[in-house]
Amino acid sequence: MDTRVPNIVVGRLPIYLRSLEHLAEQGHGIISSHQLAALLGTSAAQIRKDLSHFGEFGKQGTGYHIPYLIVQLKRILKADQEWEVALVGVGDIGHALLRNRDLPRRGFRIVAAFDSDRDKVGTRFGQVTVHELEQLAQVIQGQGIQLAIVAVPPAAAQTVTDALVAAGIRGVLNYSPIAVSVPDHVRLQQIDPVTHLQHMTYYG
């Protein structure tokens, strides 16, 4: 039944998972859909409806068993495995991502980085060496990397995205403040602070 799940529902599952993991870290074992809804600013009906696409995860009146629901959501999102990620652009955002320990802790390991700046090529961040852009296809195909983060200036974002798609990348997370296009078989997500700020100014 997975093929019928609306994309918008899929997008909410990682938010539920993050919130449940936070609750588990705080020592909580059980939570009702009403409590979870209050934490997330949504409705209990919405959460129950979203989860019902994937099975039966809670009993009426007893709430959700947090560790169990975490395991199930991780399985659904394929977050129970480690994913290798390519990073293009080792500027400010790229640096921050290379130093971000939350990414590997939650299953996403940046294993290759690329930059067009010759001064950055060859520098190392932990296990990761910065390659020149010309090596992009070779490294990505050689390591079978499926996910990439684009953190380049806006003018370069589409060219870099096209090169990633040509190299076989299946999912692109775009940090550049510009819309990029990908073919239908490639997933695209954008980090856009303005959409988050506008969500808040609505209430302002």
DSSP string, 48-79: HHHHHTT---EETTTEEEHHHHHHHHHHHTTT
Nearer to its own copies, 62 or 195 (CB): 195
In the complex, minimum distance from the CB of residue 62 to its own copies, in angstroms, rounded to a whole number: 25
Q: Where are the beta strands (DSSP E) in 78-204?
A: 83-88, 108-115, 124-125, 128-132, 147-150, 171-174, 187-190
Helix, strand, coil shares of the chain as percentages rounded to 5? 45, 20, 35
Sites for its own copies among residues 158-177 (CB under 8 A): 170-171, 173, 177
When asked if residue 44 is in the footprint of its own copies (CB under 8 A), the reply is: no
191: three-class secondary structure by DSSP: coil
Between CA 201 and CA 188 the distance in angstroms is: 26
Closest CB to its own copies among 54 and 68?
Answer: 54
Q: Which of 4, 27, 62, 101 binds its own copies (CB under 8 A)?
A: 101
* Residue range at the interface with its own copies (CB under 8 A); choices 57-65, 79-87, 115-123, 127-135: 79-87
Strands 128-132 and 124-125: antiparallel
What is the layout of strands, in order, in the sheet containing 63-65? 30-31, 63-65, 58-59
Q: Which residue of 4, 27, 41, 144 would you call a contact of its own copies, by CB under 8 A?
A: 41
CA dist 170 to 18, 41, 103, 133, Å? 23, 31, 18, 18
Size of the site for its own copies (CB under 8 A): 63
Stretch that binds its own copies, among 84-92, 111-119, 122-130, 136-144 (CB under 8 A): 84-92
78 binds its own copies (CB under 8 A): yes
Residues of this chain that bind its own copies (CB under 8 A): 6-8, 10-11, 13-15, 17-19, 22, 41-43, 46, 76-79, 83, 85, 91-93, 95-97, 99-103, 106-108, 146-147, 149, 154, 170-171, 173, 177-179, 187, 189-204
